[in-house]
């Protein structure tokens, strides 16, 4: 079974990235042939500063390795180090109906938020399809916000196979961890850099504490009984704490005389403790930056060999050879 997942280098990684994509990916590296790419082509839809983009790509690789990705078990590479993916994207563009892309929620949401409606942003699902199909991926872990894009990938793969009468592409299956598919941010919305509501994985202690203290709550006072099922603090706490710790906090909410300040302090403590071993590993990796680059290069060479084989088959199928 081949597993594929990707992440954009759009900024500092946060706990929404960790539980939504990083942790499931690291866990799945033991369950199959794992390919993880850093989507620098995709990031160009928002025109990041070139030097900043290079820095972000490096940091994504660093953070993944610090959080448990094992290069002996999984590949991690720059998307742009496998240029065949853009060739496949063009070929897929030529069979993808405009209407299919016009129905994409992500494009409409981003334009509504002020993103420039460029062609790259519009055709984003086709490049994503190429990312997945070029490695003949069987399983793709995605968040709920990417579910429609994977459905588009499946539609494109089925259309290609039917049009040419040959099963060139594997039809990928989604893998969504429902319980953490959407991690709440400081304001209660989905945690996202776009909303500026994130808690970074490797932020400094003072910064993380400050952010946790900004988690939005209702106006109930210290003495009031509170509902843990509707509280952003509890929702985040559940990601890090043991079932016993969660029950204890919920009981305190229902008993009263337990303020949101107390709950936020408990949340900060479990977050800081949870990532402690990963912070240590990250410091060790930073001592030898050349190791990060060597991992990216070696992984890309292996991924490109797979991609090249697929592209030979695609070119032959569509008449380019």
Closest CA to 3 of 38, 30, 35, 26: 35
Contact by Cβ (8 Å): 272, 205: yes
- The number of angstroms, rounded, from the C-alpha of 214 to the middle of its chain's C-alpha atoms is 24
Contact by Cβ (8 Å): 168, 134: no
Q: How confident is the model at residue 181 (pLDDT cuts 50, 70, 90)?
A: low
| Per-residue tokens: 228 | 């843990």
DSSP state for residue 224 in the 8-state scheme: S
Sequence-ordered list of residues with C-beta below 8 angstroms from that of 3, at least 6 positions apart, any chain? 25, 28, 29, 31, 32, 33, 34, 35, 137, 138, 139, 140, 141, 175
Closest CA to 118 of 193, 47, 211, 200: 47
173-175 and 139-141 strand pairing: parallel
Give the total residue count for the chain: 321
Closest CA to 245 of 216, 274, 221, 213: 274
Greater pLDDT, 181 or 91:
91
To which CATH superfamily is domain 203-274 assigned?
Tyrosyl-Transfer RNA Synthetase (1.10.240.10)
Residue spans per domain, the chain: 2-182+289-318, 203-274
pLDDT at 214: 97
To which CATH superfamily is domain 2-182+289-318 assigned?
HUPs (3.40.50.620)
Q: How confident is the model at residue 109 (pLDDT cuts 50, 70, 90)?
A: confident
CA–CA dist 214, 238 (Å, integer)? 18
Starting at the earlier edge strand, list the strands of the sheet with 173-175. Answer: 74-78, 33-38, 2-7, 139-141, 173-175
pLDDT tens digits for range 218-269 = 999 999 999 999 999 999 999 999 999 999 999 999 999 999 999 999 999 9
pLDDT at 105: 84
pLDDT at 266: 98
Q: How confident is the model at residue 177 (pLDDT cuts 50, 70, 90)?
A: low
The residue-averaged pLDDT of 68-95 equals 97
- Catalytically active residues, by annotation: 110, 190, 193
Number of Cα atoms under 13 Å in the Cβ half of residue 183: 25
Q: How confident is the model at residue 179 (pLDDT cuts 50, 70, 90)?
A: low
pLDDT at 159: 97
| 3-class DSSP assignment, residue 229 | helix
């Amino acid at each position: 079974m081949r597993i594929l997942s990707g992440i954009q280098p759009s900024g500092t990684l946060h706990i929404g990235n960790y539980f939504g994509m990083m942790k499931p990916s690291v866990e799945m590296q033991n369950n199959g042939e794992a390919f993880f790419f850093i989507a620098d082509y995709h990031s160009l839809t928002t025109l990041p500063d070139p030097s900043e983009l290079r820095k972000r790509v490096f940091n994504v690789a660093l953070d993944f390795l610090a959080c448990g990705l094992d290069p002996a078990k999984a590949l991690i590479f720059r998307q742009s180090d496998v240029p065949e993916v853009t060739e496949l994207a063009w070929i897929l563009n030529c069979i993808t109906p405009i209407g299919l892309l016009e129905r994409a929620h992500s494009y409409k949401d981003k334009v509504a938020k002020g993103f420039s409606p460029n062609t790259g942003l519009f055709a984003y699902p086709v490049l994503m399809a190429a990312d997945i199909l070029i490695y003949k991926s069987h399983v793709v872990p995605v968040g709920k916000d990417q579910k429609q894009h994977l459905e588009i990938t499946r539609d494109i793969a089925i259309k290609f196979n039917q049009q040419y009468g040959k099963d060139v592409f594997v039809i990928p299956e989604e893998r969504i961890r429902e319980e953490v598919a959407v991690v709440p941010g400081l304001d209660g919305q989905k945690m996202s850099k776009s909303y500026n509501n994130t808690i970074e994985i490797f932020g400094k202690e003072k910064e993380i504490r400050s952010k946790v203290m900004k988690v939005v709550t209702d106006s109930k006072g210290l003495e009031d009984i509170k509902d843990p099922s509707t509280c952003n603090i509890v929702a985040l706490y559940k990601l890090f704490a043991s079932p016993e710790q969660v029950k204890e906090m919920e009981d305190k909410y229902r008993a009263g005389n337990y303020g949101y300040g107390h709950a936020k302090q408990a949340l900060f403590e479990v977050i800081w403790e949870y990532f402690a071993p990963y912070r240590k590993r990250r410091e060790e990796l930073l001592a030898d930056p050349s190791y990060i680059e060597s991992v990216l290069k070696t992984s890309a060479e292996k991924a490109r060999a797979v991609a090249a084989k697929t592209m030979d088959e695609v070119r032959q199928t569509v008449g380019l050879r």
